[in-house]
Structure 1
């Protein structure tokens, strides 16, 4: 195919790196609540911030989506873009997964890193198309995936241009949603940010369904792949497709599985198809993140 048409898109959470027990960005936002309350003490005794400050994991896990979104909106806005990037960079360099006790940056999937390299070696541009925050993923995408910031399409909030007291221009992150890059928002985001229909799309959940459908609707050969998390020993097992446990994070329904089989999509079994799950970088390599 012509070089300009060589586009491959990848979901991130659950497709390129671990997403359980909770999306990494949500954990980041929960960790920012104490600093937020220090700046805004009036939130200390207000739900859901009071619940987060309690440290009660069971209570936090039971927070409804509307209250989690309130936490995300408060911790992802109200600061300059530069301030956010610096805070996110510092967090991602030091945060560890609660089960694996390893940095999140080391919990990328080795086979997917190989796929990314294979596509790029064959003239493709590789894009992340994620329901996660666009600015958050852009902090580390180049360093751990080899994907530049301009090739990250994600859920995006508004920014406002202004000047500081010295007259220096800056952008402030505002609590206003511009693009919800999930489900139908993914093909919409691809059209908005990339402007071309992909020839290959990779996902792992119902949130990726429309992206794979839209990719497959184009002419010529198209590659559609879904990762099924069925390896409780080496990672996690969840579905509920194929009788796996049903989870709110990364749901892969039986209906999605049936659509994949009917439409000629490839379903990857983590347990049966992957010799190795996580990437392990040499100890002497130090990751440096974008600011």
Structure 2
């Protein structure tokens, strides 16, 4: 998960194009489409994306990139779905702690659980990073990976966002769904590279984003192989951090789990800065994008001062280096898929 405080259907009109096969991506420029990004307003961001894809997919062009090297990485929280007013994984951990509380009467007097149980999720800022990590450790361990996956999926079915009163998976960004579909239709492999927990994301990312679990890179806890009481092999989640995929951890995670340097990367906060820098450091054509939250009416407006998804140093570097900074209010016709209904 993030070190700072607090985590639909996809468009299908490109499906027929996929039948052209991989060879088509190696022999021709970006596939012709009426409008691959219909939820994006015409402007610098949309043009920059489509022109970049055109350049790297044009056979014989100076910027042509072979299919196997077309790697695109996306942060999750605040880049692919909403992250306010609290990271969704923290909301999950809080709900999980409340469900476990009857078995832990000591939590009525022990912090950080006392604050959570008495004052609710809104008070979690007061417990600090140490307290949040303790809540996550308790609620994310002591069970098998299969059990945890089921708990996550059950929560996604029943939990509702406090502002929109919708399932959290409804709060994914329609323009980014279109972007990932467009990239995949042009031979890119799309990865999530997030500070969120890998076991929290993997159960649902394929259904929601079209990104299979093996293409999800995230923070992880230690797991241990055991034989359960029925003689069945299981992986048990332990209350110990193995890897933090945030900030400088993101390039490390990309190298460790993907093995190729991205040519396309999107983030939204300072936690994504090093991933964007690592992408920019490669040779040849590169695209670095930042989602800037500027729409308080439809979503939220925040950047430098926000404790959730702070955009400060990455914003400055993006401006300095000419990265694509997407003004959500100005450049997205819709934000969520349900706005189209």
Give me the TM-score of the superposition, normalised by structure 2.
0.79
Question: Structure 2: how far apart are the matches of 1:192 and 1:95?
Answer: 33
How far residue 50 of structure 1 moved from its aligned partner, in angstroms, is 1.0
Counterpart among 30, 36, 48 of residue 112 in structure 2: 48
- The root-mean-square deviation of aligned C-alpha atoms, in Å, is 1.4
Partner of 1:243: none
Partner residue in 2 for 1:248? 307
2:129 paired with 1:65: yes
Q: Does 1:75 align with 2:133?
A: no
Q: Give the number of aligned pairs.
A: 277
Alignment partner, residue 133 of structure 1:
197
Rg comparison, structure with higher value: 2
Structure 1's consecutive aligned runs of 4 or more residues displaced over 3 angstroms after TM superposition are 55-58
2:254 aligned residue (190, 196, 210): 190
- Match in the other structure for 2:54: none
Preserved contact between residue 272 and residue 314 of structure 2 (Cα < 8 Å): no
Residues 256/282 of structure 1: CA separation in 2 closer, same or farther (3 Å cut): closer
Contact 1:106 1:281 in 2 (8 A): no
Aligned to 2:207: 143
Residues 219 and 245, structure 2, Cα contact 8 Å, conserved in 1? yes
Measure how far apart 1:57 and its partner are.
Answer: 4.6
Question: What displacement does 1:56 show?
Answer: 3.8
Deviation at 1:281, TM superposition (A): 9.0
Deviations 1:192-224 (A, max 9, x none): 100000010000000000000000000000000
Q: Describe the superposition over 1:136-177 as per-residue Cα deviations: whole angstroms up to 9, x where unpaired.
A: 000110010000000000001110011112211111001111
TM-score, with structure 1 as normaliser? 0.92
Partners of 1:56 and 1:193 in 2: CA distance: 37
Asked if residue 39 in structure 1 is aligned to residue 103 in structure 2, the reply is yes
Alignment deviations for residues 218-274 of structure 1 (CA, whole Å, 9 cap, x no partner): 00000000000011011000012xxxxx21000011x32221112121100001111
| CA–CA separation in structure 1 for the residues paired with 2:268 and 2:183 | 19
Gaps of 5+ in 2: 1-64
SS at match of 2:152: helix
